[in-house]
Amino acid sequence: MNAKAKRRNVAENGDASEDLVLATSISNGEDLGPIVRLAFEMGRPESLLQQLKTVMKKKEIEIEELCKTHYEEFILAVDELRGVLVDAEELKGELASDNFKLQEVGTALLAKVEELIEAYSIKRNVTEAIRTSKNCVQVLELCSKFNDHIAKGQFYPALKTVDLIEKNYLQNIPVLTLKLAIERRIPVIKMHIEKKMSSQVNEWLVHVRSSAKSIGQTAIGHTASSRQRDEEMLERQRKAEEQDLSGYGDFVCSLDVEEIEEDCVLKFDLTPIYRVYHIHICLGVPQQFRDYYYNNRMLQLNSDLQGSSSQPFVESYQSYFAQIAGHFIVEDRVLRTAGGLLLADQLETMWDSAVAKMVSVLNGQFSHMDSATHLLLVKDYVALLGSTLRQYGYEVGPLFEALDNSRSKEQLVNILGNDTYEQMDTDYESNVLSFHLQTSDIMPAFPYVAPFSAMVPDVCRTVRSFIKSSVDYLSYGAQANSYETVRKYLDKLLIDVLNEALLSTIENGNIGVSQAMQIAADISFLERACDFFTRHAAQLFGIPTRAAERPQRSLTAKVVLRTSRDEAYLALLNFVNSKLNEFMALADNINWTVEEMPQGGNEYINEVVIYLDTVLSTAQQILPFDVQYKVGIGAFEHISNTIVSAFLSDSVKRFNVNAVMGINNDLKMLETFADERFHSTGLSAVYTEESFRGCLVEARQLINLLLSSQPENFMNPVIRQKNYNTLDYKKVTTICEKFKESADGIFGSLSNRNTKQNSRKKSMDMLKKRLKDFN
């Protein structure tokens, strides 16, 4: 019993604690969800329900006790509430009475307020109508003003009026029909203005093109007058210097662009083009007009550059060039004053196109012009054209080059094409001294045979004439560095025309050895003449000779011609070597397995020696010492290489000692000839380091090795350095593999290892083995 009582007390205590927790949670307003979920998870929902009922009973008891405690106060509060209710009923009645009275009074006032609101609405509508009418009247007045401007041809004010309507009034037009009508008309109006402007531009383009010739003639006339004044001034200066009245001074044409434009400005007015360009800016399409203007002016220029086919050039050249000059005088003004209508790059493109076409026309006309008078007249007028346009900043150098090069280029090409490249009997003073071509101050014996061909003095005369004409063209025109310009033109003529013609002659392969020698000699004299050309130009400009002879004043053409001379030397060596190859076809001309030992050299060697004697004799007459030496060295080195290459040739499968003996005889003959020519020409006194004979050393060492009784000594470094230092291991290996005994048995066969071997055979086999090991 005690145990049961204890368990019941424990259970009751546990239930009491759970009821306390549940009551506390309900009092605190906490969420009972977790407690309910836990009860269901533990399978005890009845227990939870019982606890809730217990808590409810406790709360009811608490409420009942509370009501008992405050019962009297509650009765008093109810009595007071009843009194308030009575008062509220009385107040409600009073409010209903007052509201009735207010409704009676407010009905009349409400009618008045409605009338006032309607009046205000009418006033607002009238005010808006007046404002709208004013806006419409203003827009219509602007439209009328626009129509007046259009009728009077005042397109800029008309366009400004349209812009004003579009920006300030269009969005505020209350009448939709009027607004839509104006919106539709604005693009049409702008297009109409643009078309009218285009029409005016076209009229101006036609007018300015028709005036271009007159503008150009006026400007060129000013240049001619200025040149005449400067020439007269220079003449007076020369006379004064002769009388020691004044010192030397530089006088150049000081033609002023503004002076030209004073007469030209009345003949072309740019105001229409300024106005149209500004209108296009207002229309928002300035680039469109720039392109239109540039393209049309280019079309006009191209048409002018075609010239007239109905008149001969000698009759129409002044009009032709005056038209072009006028065109570019106008374009220069447009560039400077039209505010970006024409860009500098566009004008430069125009000018480059015009220059290219004029140069082409001049070259074509000059090539068919037989009259010297006509040629000079055209050149003089083109020179005036160039001097005029140079005042406006145009680069006229190509024009002057065309004037200078046209005749000179043709003459130089003809001179080189007609020359025989042979030494000539000539007048020493007119063809040598006059161009400073002498190699010594000692007067030679007569008749004098020049070391150059007729081409050299003819070229010097042509170039001297070219310099004179260039100086005449550039002696006026406000160019302070005319001397440097002439030097530039001179360099261009010598490099682009003369040097190119010389190289073409050298490279076409239609000349022989003697002609190649003569061309090389001629180039040396032309290189020397370059100093004469610079001194001559300086003399014509009055520049002291010592200033013209400074190293930095030397022509670039001098270096270029020196390079071309080396090209001529190389071509000469190629000609000689090519001819030697024809004679020395050793693989075909030699029996490499001959049965008998030859008593002398092979047949080809006589032709080789005769040819070398001819070449070196001709070189001795024409070429300077250093070139003679180069020709000889090159020829003998080539012979030596040919001999070695013959042993290495795939067509030579085997050779015997008899063939080697024959080539040894050939080599001895060449060595004897080489020594004789080296001493007879006097080269031995100048070139002591290497002789002609020394160029045959590789072939000589190879023959000596093949004929040696102890060829294995090749592998001895000391002996090899002393006797075989030019031979290559791989070449020697290949050649030794081809070497075999002759049929009569001086050497045994290299391939037959079962036959009796003699000492030389053993030495050769030993060499071949050691070479294989080395490789």
- Mean pLDDT on 360-379: 75
Q: How far is CA 736 from CA 14, 526, 640, 769, in A?
A: 125, 52, 18, 10
Phi, psi of 240 (to 5 degrees): -65, -40
Q: Give, for 425, the enclosing helix (H) or strand (E).
A: strand 424-425
| pLDDT higher than threshold 60 for residue 73 | yes
| Residue 419: other Cβ atoms inside 10 A | 20
What are the residues whose beta carbons fall under 8 Å from the beta carbon of 695, sequence distance 6 or more? Answer: 633, 636, 637, 639, 640, 674
Helices vs. strands in the chain: H and E counts, helices first: 28, 2
User: How much is the pLDDT for 550?
Assistant: 62
**Tell me, what's the pLDDT at 187?**
73
Q: What is the mean pLDDT of the chain?
A: 77
Predicted pLDDT at 481? 61
What's the pLDDT band for 228 if we cut at 50, 70, 90? confident
pLDDT at 712 over 60: yes
Q: Residue 508: phi, psi to the nearest 5?
A: -75, -15
> How many whole angstroms separate alpha carbon 695 and alpha carbon 714?
21
Q: What is the pLDDT of residue 676?
A: 92
Distance CA 529, CA 435 (A): 7
Angle between helices 482-492 and 397-418 (to 10 degrees): 40
Q: CA–CA separation, 494 vs 408, rounded Å?
A: 10
Q: Which residue has the higher pLDDT, 764 or 725?
A: 725
**pLDDT interval class at 254 (50, 70, 90):** very low
Distance of CA 539 to the CA centre of its chain: 39
Question: Rounded to whole angstroms, how far apart are CA atoms 148 and 169?
Answer: 19
- Do the beta carbons of residue 474 and residue 486 sit within 8 Å? yes
Kindly report which listed range (188-197, 252-261, 562-571, 702-711) carries the lowest average pLDDT score. Answer: 252-261
Can you give the pTM of this predicted structure? 0.51
Task: For residue 327, name the pLDDT band (cuts at 50, 70, 90).
Answer: very high
Q: Which residue has the tokens 């239109």?
A: 292
Q: How many other β-carbons are positioned within 10 Å of the β-carbon of residue 353?
A: 14
Tokens encoding 701: 């060492």
- The residues near 403 (Cβ < 8 Å, ≥ 6 apart) are 362, 379, 382, 383, 469, 473
Residue 593: pLDDT over 90? no
Fold (topology level) of 395-568: Tetracycline Repressor; domain 2 (1.10.357)
Q: 444: left (phi > 0), else alpha (psi -120 to 50), else beta?
A: beta
Q: H or E segment at 692?
A: none
CA 684, distance to chain mean position in Å, is 54
Per-residue pLDDT averaged across 505-532, rounded?
82
- Of residues 341 and 152, the one with the higher pLDDT is 341
Q: Which of 690, 673, 664 is nearest to 608 (CA)?
A: 673
The alpha carbon of residue 389 and the mean position of all alpha carbons in its chain are separated, in whole angstroms, by 27
Residue-level pLDDT at 478: 41
Domain ranges of the chain: 103-155, 193-242+265-393, 395-568, 590-743+758-773
Amino acid identity for residue 212 in this structure: A
DSSP code of residue 8: H
Residues 6+ apart with CB under 8 A from 66: none
Residue 297's nearest CA partner among 352, 221, 223, 350 is 350
**Pick the residue with more confidence: 553 or 597?**
597
Are 580 and 611 a contacting pair, CB within 8 Å? yes
What one-character DSSP code corresponds to residue 494? I
Share of the chain above pLDDT 70, in %: 77
pLDDT band at residue 262 under the 50/70/90 scheme? very low
Q: What is the pLDDT of residues 730-744, one digit of tens each?
A: 888 888 888 876 444
Is the pLDDT at 23 greater than 60, yes or no? yes
Give the type of residue at 298. Answer: M
Residues 6+ apart with CB under 8 A from 547: 538, 553
Task: Report the C-alpha gap between 746 and 34 in whole angstroms.
Answer: 127
Asked if the model's pLDDT at residue 351 lies above 90, the reply is yes
Q: What's the DSSP call for residue 449?
A: E
Q: From the CA atom positions of the chain, what is the Rg in Å?
A: 58
> Is the CB of residue 561 less than 8 Å from the CB of residue 499?
yes
User: Which residues on adjacent β-strands are paired with residue 443?
Assistant: none
- Mean pLDDT of the region 60-87: 81
Confidence of residue 747 (pLDDT cuts 50, 70, 90): very low
pLDDT tier at 350 (50, 70, 90 boundaries)?
A: very high
The per-residue pLDDT for range 523-568, each reduced to its tens digit, is: 888 888 888 888 888 887 777 766 656 655 678 888 888 888 888 8
Q: What is the pLDDT of residue 440?
A: 57
Span 182-192, average pLDDT = 72
pLDDT band at 329 (very low <50, low <70, confident <90, very high): very high
pLDDT in tens, 641-674: 998 888 888 888 888 888 888 889 989 999 999 9
Which residues fall within 8 angstroms of residue 481, CB to CB, at 6 or more apart?
none
Indicate if the pLDDT at residue 250 is higher than 60: no
pLDDT given for residue 235 in this prediction: 64
For 746, other C-beta atoms within 10 Å of its C-beta total 15
Is the preceding omega at residue 624 within 30 degrees of 0, hence cis? no
Query: Residue 229: CB partners within 8 Å, gap ≥ 6?
Result: none
Q: What is the per-residue burial (b if ≥16 Cβ within 10 Å, else e) of 71-83?
A: eeeeeeeeeeeee
pLDDT band at residue 512, thresholds of 50, 70 and 90? Answer: confident
Looking at residue 757, its pLDDT comes to: 37
Q: Tokens 């979920």 label which residue?
A: 37
At 746 the pLDDT is 36
Q: Using an 8 Å Cβ cutoff, are 587 and 652 in contact?
A: yes
DSSP state of 450: E
**pLDDT at position 607:** 87
Q: Where are the alpha helices (DSSP H) in 584-624?
A: 586-589, 604-622
Contact between 545 and 538 (Cβ < 8 Å): yes
> Confidence class of residue 295 from pLDDT cuts 50, 70 and 90?
very high
pLDDT, tens digit, 9 for 90 and up, residues 428-479: 666 677 777 776 555 655 666 777 788 888 888 888 888 877 776 666 544 5
CB 480 within 8 A of CB 429: no
